[in-house]
Chain A
Amino acid sequence: MAKKTPEVPSASLADIAFMLLIFFLVTTTMDVDSGLERRLPPFVENPEDDDTPPIKERNVFIVLVNKDNQLLVEGEWMQISDLREKAKEFMANPFDLENLPEKEFKEVPFFGEVGISKGVISLQNDLGTQYGTYIAVQNELVGAINELREELAKSQFGKSYASLEKEQQDAVREIYPQRISEAEPKKVGGN
């Protein structure tokens, strides 16, 4: 029988592993990055010679934020907490009111023929607006659309929007698109 080689001592293995562990604990951060995802419009050289047809007044939901972080929504002074309801009412237009956006009838899978709102939300801010307020307003607008989608998913499929199949989600998204435009910077509100 061959002579046994002596075992490699493994007592220090734990120390080495601890050292690595502590190194990773110190250099890493736990938090997952999250935020509001948006798409910017492509750059246009001269905003004046834009040849897109003008949008009808009833189809635009104008939100102005001035330098003192106050809101003017469709010509009315408003609190951020009321914005979500107002935006939902605008996008859904449940009673086909004259002053709320028109609807375009279109075939959508799972739903048949539905009226899709032509509404666009336009968000304009002053250069002196605080970023925190701007994000709060954006959050409410995105939240309004998410809530509408959620309600539609619940009534049609009896499930929450997040747990729908991909095709079903697409259909719901088609009925309530996220059309929020961030206008070109402008001076809004007096000094």
Chain B
Amino acid sequence: MHKFKKKGSNELPPISTASLPDIVFMLLFFFMVTTTMREVTLKVRQTLPSATELNKLEKKSLVSYIYVGVPHREFQRAFGIEPRIQLNDQFAEVSDITDYIIAERESRNEAEVPFMITSLKVDEYTKMQIVQDIKQELRKAAALHINYSARKRQEHF
């Protein structure tokens, strides 16, 4: 029986930190799975409109974004205070949209092209003129499946 007898002092052993990396890795994987990479830096100010009847954009890889809004203060000297279009990381004109859509299509797998969605992220206070122009360009480029990006609004009665 003496085999099981405690030897040495009665001091408390230090808490083992061997499982700490495992816990942190678990957190890490959680965040990696639930989040998406921020791809572009926004150069325009945006408050998205709110709506209740929303569809979620399921496949991130199939979505191309068009941002519209008033440029941030540091760009206002060069680009003015009227709402502008941003494609990828730079300001663009309406006429650049066709090229952008074609480039987006070429970067995708051919089989995925018919399922591509264009997401319009437009500031609430923008006038429809610019949105209408974008829509006409998208129709010309045959990118007909679009999504007006909006925030979820809680229904209040």
Contacts and interface: CB of A to CB of B under 8 A. Distances in A.
A33 interface: yes
A110 interface: no
Interface string A86-107: 0000000000000000000000
Interface string B1-38: 00000000000000001101100110110011011111
Nearest to A135: B49
Contact of A143 (B32, B53, B55): B53
Q: Which of A10, A138, A139 has the most CB of B within 10 A?
A: A139
A42 interface: yes
A35 B132 contact: no
On chain A, which size bracket covers the interface? Answer: 35 or more
Contacts, number: 146
B21 to A, nearest CB: 4
Contacts of A52: none
A32 interface: yes
Contact of A35 (B17, B38, B119): B119
A135 B148 contact: yes
A32 B57 contact: yes
B148 A129 contact: no
Interface string A109-148: 0000000000000000111111110111011001100100
Interface in B105-157: 117, 119-120, 122-129, 131-132, 135-136, 138-140, 142, 144-150, 152
B138 A135 contact: no
Q: Which of B24, B38, B119, B147 has the most CB of A within 10 A?
A: B24
Contact of B132 (A14, A127, A143): A127
Interface residues of B, number: 52
A21 B122 contact: no
A131 B24 contact: no
A142 to B, nearest CB: 4
Contacts of A185: 128, 132, 136
Contact of A36 (B17, B60, B131, B148): B148
A140 B28 CA distance: 41
A2 B30 CA distance: 42
A39 B139 CA distance: 10
Contacts of A21: 24, 27-28, 31
5 contacts: A17-B21, A24-B28, A33-B119, A34-B56, A131-B131
Given A30-B35, A185-B132, 20 more contacts: A11-B17, A28-B38, A29-B35, A33-B57, A34-B150, A35-B51, A35-B149, A37-B145, A38-B146, A40-B144, A42-B139, A43-B139, A43-B142, A127-B129, A131-B131, A135-B148, A135-B150, A139-B52, A142-B53, A143-B52
